[in-house]
Amino acid sequence: MGTGRVEQADDLAGPVLAARVATAVAEALAGRTAALVLAHVDHRLDLPLVTAALQAAAGAAPVLGATTGTVYSGTDEQPAVVLVTALGGDDLQVGAAVDARPDPTERATVVAERAALGVDSPHRLMIMLPNGTAGDQQAMVLGAYDVLGPAVSIVGGGADGDLETNRSWQFLGTTIVENGLAAAVLGTDRPVGVAAAHGYSRLGRGMVVTDSDGQLLRELDGRPALDAYLDNLADAGIDVGDRDDEAALTRLAFAHPLGLARRRRDEARTIVSLDLAARTMTFVSTVEAGGLVHPLQGDEQDMLAGAAQACDQAVRALGADPVGMVLFSCIARRALLTEEGRLAELDAARDAGCRGEVTLVHSCGEIARVSGSAGCHNQTVVALAF
């Protein structure tokens, strides 16, 4: 695994941008031949120009990527606007596909079928870069799961982009789609390690989701969702302040996501907006009716402990010291952590024993399906160890 990056600059346009992208790919390849090149690109750049430059520099290797808001690599303390990750190895088989048909389950089914063709190694993994703005990532995980089966782990992160207009972009080579899915199926002779953790703990009492329309939560325990949520926080000792101050309440909710009760752990769900008149709550990902949920709490140290846990578990699943790691962390964590804390998530991979390159991508929703059919996460670190 090798990495290359393009730094932010005032002259990133035209031939200058293309040349710097080519240099980043050359740095990632370091004279080697890659089986797959992953690329994360700031959505404000000239995406057709960037993808053409990426593919030209990568040669025969497929270039799979998506738009993003923030990416880090190695020991660099500033985010890149283009991050290139080259994956290779004599035993690595790769298939890739991209699609943007309207139905998310069908989209993922088609992509998984195309990407899995000819990949028959003992260990297989899907890297999924879905749209991160529509809240339909679990449907895409299920679509891929139906094709690939329980033995294939699925890992990735939702594409960040123009969040004001709910648009993101995914690409394979020079084929660019909007609000779609780009994915690759990797086959190897050795295991890979995948794990996820957030570091939050339960706060207050459990509540049952009694009325939900996907991302829109109307009722908890038969009461207006916002009132039940705020009362739960207040009963647990949290100062909820003015219940008519939408901006303050939204900040409070951002720091206290809901946790969906699962057999192994709570899956975090980020609260992105509140409707004070309707007393409803809107989430990044679906919160299904009938589920048990708890408010969650955690400070920066708790969140960094979650990053360390994800990296440690991924390395244990790998069963060897990793030669490289890719981390997907949430844009909500990016907002809640200090700059020092964001860089400490990179350090967690090295502390877990990674002796090679480490990349950190901030995503809109994180994907880690290892067992069962669920695999959609928020405010979580997903670690992939090679």
User: How do residues 100-142 score in pLDDT, each as one tens digit?
Assistant: 999 999 999 999 999 999 899 999 999 999 999 888 899 999 9
The span from the CA of 150 to the CA of 135, in Å, is 23
- For residue 229, pLDDT over 70 is answered with yes
CA neighbor of 273 nearest in space, from 288, 295, 251: 251
Kindly write down the DSSP assignment for every residue of 173-197, as one continuous string.
TTEEEES-EEEEEEEESS--EEEEE
The pTM of the full predicted model, rounded to 2 decimals, is 0.94
Residues 6+ apart with CB under 8 A from 272: 254, 282, 283, 284
Residue pLDDT, tens place only, 179-190: 999 999 999 998
Identify the bridge partners of residue 171 per DSSP, sorted by sequence position.
65, 176
Torsion of the alpha carbons at 55, 61, 62 and 67, rounded to the nearest 10? -50
- For residue 74, pLDDT over 70 is answered with no
